[in-house]
Amino acid sequence: MPVRGASFFPIADGGIVYLDRVRRLYGLNAPAALVWRDLTESAAPAETVARLAEAYSLDAATAHEWRDLAVRSFAESILRDAAEAADAPDAPHVADPRPFDAGVVYRLLGQPVHVDAPAAVLDGIDTLLGDRMIPARAPASADALWVRVTPEGGHLRVESGGDPPTVETRETVVPDVERRIVQDIVPRVPHFLAFHGALLAQGDRSVLLSAPSGSGKTTLALALARAGWSLLTDEMALLDRDLGWRGLPFRPCVKSDNYGLIAAAFPELGDAMEHVRFGRKVKFLPLPLDTRRLTLRTVVFPQYRPGPATELMPISPADGLQRLLAQCIYVPPGFGEEDVTRLISWHDGTNYYALGFGDSQSASKLINGADFSSLR
């Protein structure tokens, strides 16, 4: 089952597949890596079943099930993505057709962002970006990142250089501006890979909490911030080519069902403006963010689960990398085989943990007091 443009890289107890047609990385555990290599070498199914049975002391029926499971997994991920890949290049940036003589300029990750909007909308955008403002407005350049918001009937029309215009309401306009900035700014910032996660530091310790939305990641990150950790991001962490980590410095996004919990520790949330983001009411917490580059060797995968038990457990490097790559949300153009080798060099010195928790304060105390080196 060879796939055009797919490269395989072995790691301890697994492997990585890089699909350059969609610039996507996939982590494989050891049995899946064995099956992938056999498929790319056109091995007969019976040969793969025999290898699995020998390597993992399985009976033939179980080895056959393992092979079928791996093949189905490839079909639902790598093969599907390859088949659906669009050959069209990324949408080009469109220069602002009108002079930028109003609004404000913010600076994110070294990039200027020009925002022209009514005063009430700028107030809302300040809840997301206020501490990123450039004191003296720089002149706009033709290829600058720009966002323009103009009244249209009873709504607001949002335009930018990298996405078609949309019509928003007062409640949804700021999250739409946020989305446009993310989509336009991340490709402009020199970096290696971008991951969905919260990045925090305390002294010489640092941790990435990587998990999909709804896992309790932001609530846990803010509990750690309350306990003295500095927060770099609750949304997106960037791995640079020098293998340093930094955060996308948007203020933490708190969902409405967590207002009471977060406001108890951060009363300023009560006065924050409310928005509608992906259909849910949210507020951006006005919390100062750390903009350092970090050396990161600890990745925790949090999962909220109702109940009193809080448990932090080490997981295998292959499992950890597989989970982390599932949260990789951007691979820049030009990413190649030597970059996978660089990623593996970072991975080889990294420890991964799974955290199940029903209470963010207990989970924060557990992480705060953990000696991660002794948990391996």
List helix spans (H) across the chain.
30-40, 45-56, 60-76, 78-84, 119-129, 173-185, 217-226, 259-265, 317-326, 337-347, 360-368, 372-375
11 phi and psi angles, rounded to 5 deg = -130, 170
- Indicate whether 245 and 369 sit together in one domain: yes
In this prediction, what percent of the chain has a pLDDT beyond 90? 70
For residues 95 and 161, is the Cβ–Cβ distance under 8 A?
yes
Report pTM: 0.89
Model confidence at 229, pLDDT cuts 50, 70, 90, reads very high
For residues 189 and 196, is the Cβ–Cβ distance under 8 A?
no
- Indicate whether 123 and 12 sit together in one domain: no
Domain boundary among 169, 188, 207: 188
- Indicate whether 362 and 305 sit together in one domain: yes
Residue 315 lies in a domain: yes
Q: What is the pLDDT of residues 94-139, one digit of tens each?
A: 666 665 567 888 888 888 888 999 999 999 999 999 888 876 555 5
- Indicate whether 234 and 330 sit together in one domain: yes
- Indicate whether 175 and 32 sit together in one domain: no
DSSP string for 107-152? EETTEEEEEE--HHHHHHHHHHHGGGB-SSPPPP-TT-EEEEEEEE
Question: How high does pLDDT run on average in the chain?
Answer: 89
Residue 173 lies in a domain: yes
- Indicate whether 234 and 352 sit together in one domain: yes
Q: What is the pLDDT of residue 218?
A: 95
- Indicate whether 181 and 201 sit together in one domain: no
Residue 375, pLDDT > 70, answer no
- Indicate whether 28 and 163 sit together in one domain: no
Residues 6+ apart with CB under 8 A from 231: 198, 199, 200, 221, 222, 224, 225, 247, 252, 287, 289, 290
Q: What is the pLDDT of residue 132?
A: 86
Residue 76 lies in a domain: yes
- Indicate whether 203 and 56 sit together in one domain: no
Q: Which domain holds residue 235?
A: 193-252+287-375
- Indicate whether 115 and 245 sit together in one domain: no
Domain boundary among 84, 115, 148: 84
In this prediction, what percent of the chain has a pLDDT beyond 70? 91
Q: What is the pLDDT of residue 88?
A: 47
C-alpha–C-alpha distance, residues 99 and 93, integer Å: 16
Length of the chain: 376
Q: What is the pLDDT of residue 58?
A: 95
Rounded average pLDDT over 255-274: 94
> Which of 43-52, 80-89, 100-109, 158-167 is predicted with the least confidence, judged by mean pLDDT?
80-89
Q: What is the pLDDT of residues 61-74, one digit of tens each?
A: 999 999 999 999 99
Q: What is the pLDDT of residues 344-355, one digit of tens each?
A: 999 999 999 999
How many domains in the chain?
A: 3
Residue 259 lies in a domain: no
> Which of 80-89, 169-178, 270-279 is predicted with the least confidence, judged by mean pLDDT?
80-89
- Indicate whether 160 and 71 sit together in one domain: no
Residue 274 lies in a domain: no
Residue 308 lies in a domain: yes
Half-sphere exposure of 20 toward its Cβ, with a 13 Å CA cutoff? 13
- Indicate whether 296 and 223 sit together in one domain: yes
Residue 92 lies in a domain: no
**Distance of alpha carbon 298 from the chain centroid:** 16
Rounded average pLDDT over 37-66: 95
Domain containing 301 — which CATH number?
A: 3.90.228.20
305 phi and psi angles, rounded to 5 deg = -145, 130
Domain boundary among 132, 164, 188: 188
Residue 29 lies in a domain: yes
